[in-house]
Amino acid sequence: MRRSLLLATQPKDREVLSFGEYELDCLTAELRRNGSVLKLQPQPAKLLGVLLGRAGEVVTRQELADQVWGSETYVDFEHGLNSAIRQIRIVLQDPAEHPRYLETVPKRGYRFIAPVGDRPAHSQASPVAEGVFSSRKRIPVYVAASTLVVVLVVIATLSSGRRWFGVAKHERIRSLAVLPLHNLSGDPQQEYFSDGMTDELITDLAKVSGLRVTSHTSVERYKELKRPLPEIGRELGVDAIVEGSIMRSTDRVRITAQLIDAHSDQHVWAESYERDARDVLGLQGEVAQEIASRIGIKLTAGEQTSLAGKREVDPAAHESYLKGSFYFNRLNCGDFETALKYYQEAVAKDPTFAPAYSGISETYFYLADWRCWPQATFAKVEPAALKAVELDPNYGEAHASVAELAFSHYWNWAQAGEEFSKALQLDPNNAGILSSYAIYLISTGRQEAALSEMLKALQRDPVSENTRLTYIYVLYLAHEYDSALAQAKEALDMFPDSLAVYYWVAQCYEKKKMPDAAIAAYLKSMAHLPAEVKSRRIAYQKHGLPGYWHADRQFRQRSNRENDPVVEAMYFAHMGDKNRSLEQLNLAYQQHCDGMQFLNIEPVYDDLRDDPRFKEILSKLRL
Neighbouring residues of 305: CB distance < 8 A, sequence distance ≥ 6: none
Order the strands of the 30-33 sheet from edge to edge: 36-38, 30-33, 22-25, 16-19, 117-119
- pLDDT at residue 178 tops 60: yes
- pLDDT at residue 94 tops 50: yes
- pLDDT at residue 29 tops 60: yes
What fold, for 149-312?
Answer: Rossmann fold (3.40.50)
Q: pLDDT band at 156, cuts 50/70/90?
A: very low
Q: pLDDT band at 267, cuts 50/70/90?
A: low
What is the SS3 assignment for 321-360?
A: HHHHHHHHCCCCHHHHHHHHHHHHHHHHHCCCCHHHHHHH
- Integer Cα distance of 97 and 104 in angstroms: 9
What average pLDDT does this structure show over 506-520? 97
- Residue 406 carries which DSSP code? I
According to the model, what pLDDT value does residue 358 have? 95
Domains 16-119 and 149-312 in one fold: no
Neighbours of 120 (CB within 10 A): 11
**More confidently predicted of 598 and 98:** 598
What is the value of pTM for the model shown? 0.72
- pLDDT at residue 416 tops 90: yes
According to the model, what pLDDT value does residue 62 have? 86
Lowest mean pLDDT among 245-254, 321-330, 444-453: 245-254
Kind of pairing between the strands at 16-19 and 117-119 = antiparallel
Q: pLDDT band at 165, cuts 50/70/90?
A: very low
Range among 238-247, 561-570, 576-585 rated most confident: 576-585
According to the model, what pLDDT value does residue 166 have? 36
Average model confidence (pLDDT) across the chain? 81
What average pLDDT does this structure show over 205-222? 84
- pLDDT at residue 70 tops 80: no
Number of alpha carbons in the 13 Å side-chain half-sphere of residue 263 = 13
- Residue 221 carries which DSSP code? G
**More confidently predicted of 605 and 49:** 605
Exposed/middle/buried for residue 186 (C-beta within 10 Å: 0-12, 13-18, 19+): exposed
Neighbours of 301 (CB within 10 A): 7
**More confidently predicted of 23 and 141:** 23
- Integer Cα distance of 568 and 552 in angstroms: 11
According to the model, what pLDDT value does residue 539 have? 96
What average pLDDT does this structure show over 220-228? 82
- Integer Cα distance of 214 and 177 in angstroms: 5
Q: pLDDT band at 119, cuts 50/70/90?
A: low
Q: Which residues pair with 241 in a beta bridge?
A: 149, 177
Neighbouring residues of 198: CB distance < 8 A, sequence distance ≥ 6: 178, 179, 180, 181, 216, 219
- pLDDT at residue 2 tops 50: no
Q: pLDDT band at 120, cuts 50/70/90?
A: low
Contacts by residues 447-454 (CB-CB < 8 Å, ≥ 24 positions apart): 447/478, 448/86, 448/96, 450/474, 450/478, 451/86, 451/89, 451/90, 451/95, 451/475, 451/478, 452/89, 452/95, 452/96, 452/97, 453/95
What average pLDDT does this structure show over 591-614? 96
According to the model, what pLDDT value does residue 202 have? 84
CATH class of residue range 16-119: mainly alpha
According to the model, what pLDDT value does residue 141 have? 30
- Cα→Cα distances 126→123, 151, 172, 261, 485, Å: 9, 33, 24, 23, 30
According to the model, what pLDDT value does residue 269 have? 67
What average pLDDT does this structure show over 38-49? 84
- Cα→Cα distances 199→110, 275, 398, 560, 565, Å: 39, 19, 16, 36, 37
According to the model, what pLDDT value does residue 477 have? 97
Read off the amino acid at residue 368. A
What average pLDDT does this structure show over 507-531? 95
- Integer Cα distance of 236 and 511 in angstroms: 33
Classify 256 as helix, strand or coil. Answer: strand
- pLDDT at residue 161 tops 80: no
- Integer Cα distance of 612 and 602 in angstroms: 17
Q: Which of 429, 521, 444 is nearest to 478 (CA)?
A: 444
According to the model, what pLDDT value does residue 117 have? 80
Ranges of H-type helices in 225-332: 229-236, 280-294, 301-308, 315-328
**More confidently predicted of 325 and 151:** 325
Question: Which bin fits 301, alpha (ψ -120 to 50), beta or left (φ > 0)?
Answer: alpha
Question: Hey, where are the domains in the chain?
Answer: 16-119, 149-312
Q: Which residues in 324-349 are b (16+ Cβ under 10 Å) and which e?
A: bbbbbbeeeeebbebbbebbbbbbeb
